[in-house]
Structure 1
Amino acid sequence: MRSRINNHLKLLSIIGTLSIAGCGENAGDTTINTTEMVSTVSGNITTERLLNIENEPGSWLTGGRDYQQSYFSPLTDINKGNASELGFAWQYEIDTTHGFEATPIVVDGVMYSSGPKGAVYAVDAKTGAEKWMFEPEIDPNIVRKVCCGMINRGISVWEGSVFVASLDGYLYALDAATGDVLWQQDTITERDRGYTITGAPYVAKDIVVIGNSGAELDARGYVTAYDTKTGKQAWRFYTVPKSYDGVQENPELEMAAKTWDQNSLWEVGLGGTVWDAMAYDPALNLLYIGTGNAAPYPRKLRSPSGGDNLFLSSILAINPDTGRLVWYYQTTPADNWDFTSTQKLILADLTINGSERKVLMQAPKNGFFYVLDRQSGELLSAEPYVPVNWASHVDLATGKPVETGQGEYFDEPKLVFPSPAGGHNWQPMAFNRETGLVYIPVLEASAVWRMPKEPFVYQKGGLNTTSQYFFPSAGSWGLDSEGAKGLPPLTELAKGQPDPVIRGYLRAWDPVQNKVAWEVETSDVWRGHIFAIWNGGGVMTTASDLVFQGRATGDLVMLDAKTGAELASINVGTSIMAAPMTYKIDGEQYVAVMAGLGGAIGQSYLPGTAAYKYGNKGRIVAFKLNGGLVPLRPEKQYDQPDGFPMPPVMRRGAPFQVKNGGELFERNCSKCHMNDADSGSGIPDLRRMTEQVHGEFTDILLKGIREEQGMGNFSELLTPEEVEAIHMYLIDLAWSTYESSSNEAKPHQPKEIEEQ
């Protein structure tokens, strides 16, 4: 690991607190004037401090600011009357293009946040000056196991420690003052499986809890709790059984196993990973976690005789003292469509039918907005917040969705709403207790699902989703892509279904009335293109009736929280996906955001994005009233050839080899290398490989010679013959694209005739 410390004064432990003059002054706003008491211990967040966060409105102590994970701030200095005066305060540049999904934490004048691979940055929250930086050394082979980008969704700060998880599965406790490693733990149980970590650790009392990613491969989900001071393992809770009737690691799995076919594909791990959502209620002493999808996706293959398949796509309430389950609620029984329940969880107190209820709210991928009693797990409401056709409604008596049959694609292709991207993905939503509304970055899209013709073969440590899906869009993963050949036309698949045009929205949802209060379309120029759903980033809201959202266009947009009217916008010059946050120091309110595009489909730098125009080098950018213009990087220069360039190597291979290579590419490569003709992607378009790259192709895949650039070693997954087949497919694809492009009088390179 590497740790860098600049200009940092190590503070002595002194009993008592110091008052920072003006830190809590809120002249002119509606919050109570307080003097914020600042501990001399760096990063000294405690349960008492979280419970009394109203006494320090200028702090942002967790990813969502408070223990409720509301992404709501009571600050009002920046308001509807002066939002247009917000300008540049400072920036902290980060030398990576992998993208950022974390929301910074600010405590006692220091900002802490995380970046790709599990790096941590500690900076002065007033100036952006670096205090220290930590970057773990990771196993370069982990890259091939990454589902959705080399990103990290955040950290936890607690009693002088900063907790972060590295991409390759290690949990680190760092000294909040220096960045030095206090302890580290290997959280991965089986390193030959597809485990990674992209999520944030979460603290509950005296334990820090971390989950993992990899359900698309062959990970078996679990969360592990460690003592915050020593790193000693406290408990581990598995989210799916390891077998039907074997000895289970935790007693809850004995019940869960009965919801699976005894002939389920146990060897595949089955998924259920906890890669994001967590929250903790200190009053109830309950830790809430959301679980993910299964692998393989199709339930008839995964668990042939049926069953709900607990605890896939569920919300679990766990006693953090014992690691035992208190209650659970499954949002998508027998999930068939990657409908994870790992989206952010928000805790709130709502008046429902005249009674005060302590609730938990979630907008998971499946398209229904859930309000649960967070003490008992009772379902209070579940209404669709996006078009849904796989289920007609959720039965409040049973708590289960009533399926329509439109989601059953095992025997024939089906157009399913929402898509596997979900009605809402990882981007944080926010709850404003003043307006009573939840602001959701909504993804309004469907996908055509089908089963491949080839029988399922388990691939250790590799992709094991099995089913295929395509978006009703042009480009990669679209219905005009190579993999979608043979599907019925969209006009036929969409008969009687919702409008399949892809759109993105910022949607304000009333969780008591169960309806949309207002919405703003965020598709920009990409309406109808899959990127339309990725332009809108996570959101933050304030007591001054503001909603802040970053966009892939590079704009930080401020809207009226009651109406959705746009009040102001700042051209940041870097694409934004992460949620903004706000804090106050020395009497001045700041807004800050981590900027940089990344993760899954968000890795395509389309024309129109700031990533395409200025590049995607990351940074933290902070703003304040009467600030200046944001410094913009030089614009990127792109060659604009007349049509697609002629490939530098000749076609080779028989048609059956090319076809085999395409199938191997689809399974092993297509999640990252989307080969979108108009993307200008940060992930290389392999149709445009240079002669040098063609020459190194085998060594890149089998020897890992580009691991430092994010391209992992596939020698454990692919044979030399399979790598050659993939290469043949890509060469053929490049020539096919070239021959169908607008080039005039271009040479034609004939395909080889299949040997008889």
Structure 2
Amino acid sequence: MIAAACLSTCTTDTPEAADPAQDAANWTGFGGNSDEQHYSALDQIDADNVGELGLVWSMDLPQQNSVSAPLAVDGVLYTATGYSVVRAIDAVTGKLLWEYDPQVPEAAGRKLRQGWGIRGLAYGEGRLYVGTHDGRLLGINAKDGTLAWSAQTLPKDNASFISGPARYFDGKVIIGFGGGDVSDVRGYVTAYDAKTGSQLWRFWTVPGNPSDGFENKAMEMAAKTWAGEWWKYGGGGTVWNAMTYDRSTNSMILGVGNGSPWNHKIRSEGKGDNLFLASIVALDADTGEYKWHYQVNPGESWDYNASMDMELADLDIGGQQRKVLMTAPKNGFFYVIDRTTGKLISAEPFVKVSWASKIDLKTGRPVENPDARYADGKTFTMWPGPVGAHTWLPMAYNPKTRLVYIPAIEMATSYNDVGIERKNWKRTPGNAVDGGANPNFVVPDAGPTNATSALIAWDPVTQKQVWKVPTPGPWNGGIMTTAGNLVFQGRIDGTFDAYAADTGKKVWSFAAQAPVTAPPISYSVNGKQYVTVITGMGTSGSAFGTLLPVSIDYRTQARRILTFAIGGKGTLPKQVATPVEPVADPDYTADAALELQGLMKFARQCAVCHGVDAIAAGHAPDLRASSVPLDAAAFASVVRDGILVPNGMPRFEEYTDADLAAVRQYIRAEAAKWRTTAKPQK
């Protein structure tokens, strides 16, 4: 840990009577404030003068995931990147004040196998709160970076992990977790005392074994919507991202994840709604007791979830002022929900949708395509796919324009469960991605020319698109909007852009020299407004290098903090082009049978970071360009012995020599395909 005294702008020991979260000069949580609107009320930078916006300072970051939302409190910028390494930086000068490294990769064990790093942190009462991949929740003193407390919120012996940001609210801090895609996990959230780290309450999102009794009446109710012996599979329902505190009703509202396994026919014998999967659930913020829920996908079976950000607003609907919650989950519908009762107000598709024709407003349930549940022997192409019409990268709501700005994706995935034994199904061991189905993420009608993305401005009252700006490829950046009639968003092609919030006209652009997918923030110091964003490619989008229109190299991409203000004159170092090329491998000999074995292992355990078809997208190295797979001993030292665990490369200690040989052969085969093409694929 590096410790340093705060500069004159650092006043994080503000008395509790002054709430930094209520000051527009600060950005204290993932969504800006407790309403999670990703909106700044500052208007010094506006659509008329944004052309004068310039770089004030930049800071290079280490070679780990940097797709994270920073915070700004009383002149100090706080970031949590990589594996929860927290830094305090003078927001005006860019000087590092302190750094805290919780040494997560070494502690994570098998949890590291879905190793995406942290996506954000929270601030409250002079402390920062951040989760770690190995399952700790940390309270860190914002003034000097010392550890105030640590709580182990997850078991150490399963595949659950933390990647999403904690939320601070009313003297408490809440954290969820992920891991349901790779293991038998039962979801829950836990609230802790922000001062002491002592546990206050826990809410489980799916019921456990009825013979063990139920934790509360909500779990007893939920159990009636499940069938078979679901608890043996965990059930899923992890709250890995979205949580919103509604101050007006004293509710903590959860966005609950998908089922584990995905396939409803395995998980629950194809019966029941399976509460509270893919649901929005409101709890009493003081006690954690259930208030209401709304389920977006009853009987979820496609890795759909309700885990995308949820913005709160007061809208005039039908001449009546309504307290609403707005969300655009994976399934492609935009939902407006009464946040006092959980009753659905409206829902309409904002992208191409094939799994359902509409949402029935009387019942609140989707009218599903009869083929969507991939009946025996059939394959169904889902629009959108499990990546979602909207990922965890947040949308934003502007109270002035009364529009929502969505980083939308249009990409399909085909599903079937041919060859999968439902009654005796067993999960692929070793923390492998296994949903009990056969998804194909690169289907013919949604290949590189048809998988797209866009920035969409959406009217939540009329449920109609107001304007749309295409963005490159099937992956785009998180959103921030401001009172200056601006919308900020980065792109994977290395630009950071601003648009007029009312019209969608591009009014400013900056060449960031690296993908910009993290959500920006805005804040003010000594009366001057700043905008900050972190560059770099990371997290779940890294699996789809085969669909991206640009090459993103793990080793050379710039991971930086960029801070802008009116009149900024800073520049970035000159960019040196370093094309990625397949490694020379004169000793390679094709072996179709061995390559197929390697493909199966790679797809289950490696592609999530190193990319489908071994075409990486920046979160991890492109192994086709690496010499390591050419040498059996070197490959074993990395994959089985774990010499790169400190860098975030997990250890697969159970891999036999035959397993290693098969994966090596597959990687070398993909590199050979690349060498035979006229132009590099990536």
Normalised to the residue count of structure 1, the TM-score between the two structures is: 0.83
Letter in 1 for 2:455: L
Q: Which residue of 2 aligns with 1:550?
A: 490
* Residue 221 to residue 592, structure 1, CA distance change in 2 (3 Å): same
Moved more, 243-252 or 296-305: 243-252
Letter in 1 for 2:427: Y
Q: Does residue 462 in structure 1 map to residue 431 in structure 2?
A: yes
Q: Does residue 417 in structure 1 map to residue 383 in structure 2?
A: yes
In 2, distance between residues paired with 1:613 and 1:689?
12
Q: 1:712, CA displacement in angstroms?
A: 0.9
In 2, distance between residues paired with 1:94 and 1:75?
28
Q: Which residue of 2 aligns with 1:750?
A: none
In 1, distance between residues paired with 2:12 and 2:167?
20
Question: Mind listing any 5+ residue stretches in structure 1 that lack a counterpart?
Answer: 12-19, 21-37, 472-477, 480-489, 524-531, 744-756
Q: 1:721, CA displacement in angstroms?
A: 3.6
- Checking the alignment, whether the CA contact within 8 Å between 1:145 and 1:195 is kept in structure 2 is yes
- Checking the alignment, whether the CA contact within 8 Å between 1:144 and 1:711 is kept in structure 2 is no
DSSP 3-state at the match of 1:659: helix
Q: Which residue of 1 aligns with 2:402?
A: 436
- Checking the alignment, whether the CA contact within 8 Å between 2:614 and 2:623 is kept in structure 1 is no
In 2, distance between residues paired with 1:113 and 1:206?
21
Residues 500-538 of structure 1: CA distance to partner in whole angstroms, max 9, x if unpaired?
821100001100011111111112xxxxxxxx121x201
Q: 1:470, CA displacement in angstroms?
A: 2.4
* Residue 208 to residue 320, structure 1, CA distance change in 2 (3 Å): same
Letter in 1 for 2:403: L
Question: Mind listing any 5+ residue stretches in structure 2 that lack a counterpart?
Answer: none
In 2, distance between residues paired with 1:560 and 1:584?
21
Q: Which residue of 1 aligns with 2:453?
A: 504
- Checking the alignment, whether the CA contact within 8 Å between 2:545 and 2:615 is kept in structure 1 is no
- Checking the alignment, whether the CA contact within 8 Å between 2:20 and 2:73 is kept in structure 1 is no
Q: Which residue of 2 aligns with 1:138?
A: 104
Q: Does residue 80 in structure 1 map to residue 47 in structure 2?
A: yes
Q: 1:142, CA displacement in angstroms?
A: 3.3
Letter in 2 for 1:509: W
In 2, distance between residues paired with 1:590 and 1:687?
41
- Checking the alignment, whether the CA contact within 8 Å between 1:238 and 1:250 is kept in structure 2 is no
Q: 1:108, CA displacement in angstroms?
A: 1.4
Normalised to the residue count of structure 2, the TM-score between the two structures is: 0.92
- Of 224, 233, 240, 2:206 maps to 240
In 1, distance between residues paired with 2:12 and 2:554?
43
Q: Cα RMSD over matched residues?
A: 2.8
Q: Which residue of 2 aligns with 1:515?
A: 464
Q: 1:553, CA displacement in angstroms?
A: 1.8
* Residue 61 to residue 669, structure 1, CA distance change in 2 (3 Å): closer
Q: Which residue of 2 aligns with 1:661?
A: 598
Q: 1:352, CA displacement in angstroms?
A: 0.7
Aligned residues, how many? 671
DSSP 3-state at the match of 1:602: helix
Q: Which residue of 2 aligns with 1:42?
A: 13
In 2, distance between residues paired with 1:309 and 1:333?
7
Q: Does residue 298 in structure 1 map to residue 298 in structure 2?
A: no
- Checking the alignment, whether the CA contact within 8 Å between 1:347 and 1:359 is kept in structure 2 is yes
Moved more, 225-234 or 434-443: 225-234
Q: Which residue of 1 aligns with 2:250?
A: 285
1:189-588 aligned at under 5 Å gives the runs 189=155, 191-218=156-183, 219-264=185-230, 266-411=231-376, 412-451=378-417, 453-455=419-421, 456-460=425-429, 462-463=431-432, 464-471=434-441, 478-479=442-443, 490=444, 501-523=450-472, 532-534=473-475, 536-588=476-528
- Checking the alignment, whether the CA contact within 8 Å between 2:252 and 2:285 is kept in structure 1 is yes
Runs of 4+ that moved beyond 6 A: 603-608
Letter in 2 for 1:256: A
- Of 612, 618, 626, 2:567 maps to 626
- Checking the alignment, whether the CA contact within 8 Å between 1:614 and 1:633 is kept in structure 2 is no
Q: Does residue 68 in structure 1 map to residue 35 in structure 2?
A: yes
* Residue 590 to residue 384, structure 1, CA distance change in 2 (3 Å): same
- Checking the alignment, whether the CA contact within 8 Å between 2:52 and 2:567 is kept in structure 1 is yes
In 2, distance between residues paired with 1:701 and 1:49?
46
- Checking the alignment, whether the CA contact within 8 Å between 1:141 and 1:713 is kept in structure 2 is no
- Checking the alignment, whether the CA contact within 8 Å between 2:614 and 2:624 is kept in structure 1 is no
Moved more, 696-705 or 163-172: 696-705
Q: Which residue of 2 aligns with 1:703?
A: 641
Letter in 1 for 2:426: V
In 2, distance between residues paired with 1:61 and 1:671?
31
In 2, distance between residues paired with 1:719 and 1:272?
33
In 2, distance between residues paired with 1:675 and 1:236?
37
* Residue 324 to residue 733, structure 1, CA distance change in 2 (3 Å): same
Letter in 1 for 2:225: T
- Of 111, 120, 124, 1:158 maps to 124
Residues 440-478 of structure 1: CA distance to partner in whole angstroms, max 9, x if unpaired?
00001111222253544224552232323224xxxxxx2
Moved more, 621-630 or 344-353: 621-630
- Checking the alignment, whether the CA contact within 8 Å between 1:123 and 1:130 is kept in structure 2 is yes
Residues 226-265 of structure 1: CA distance to partner in whole angstroms, max 9, x if unpaired?
111111111111111222443133432111111111233x
- Checking the alignment, whether the CA contact within 8 Å between 1:90 and 1:128 is kept in structure 2 is yes
Residues 272-303 of structure 1: CA distance to partner in whole angstroms, max 9, x if unpaired?
11111111122311001111112211111211
DSSP 3-state at the match of 1:590: strand
* Residue 682 to residue 422, structure 1, CA distance change in 2 (3 Å): closer
Letter in 2 for 1:468: N
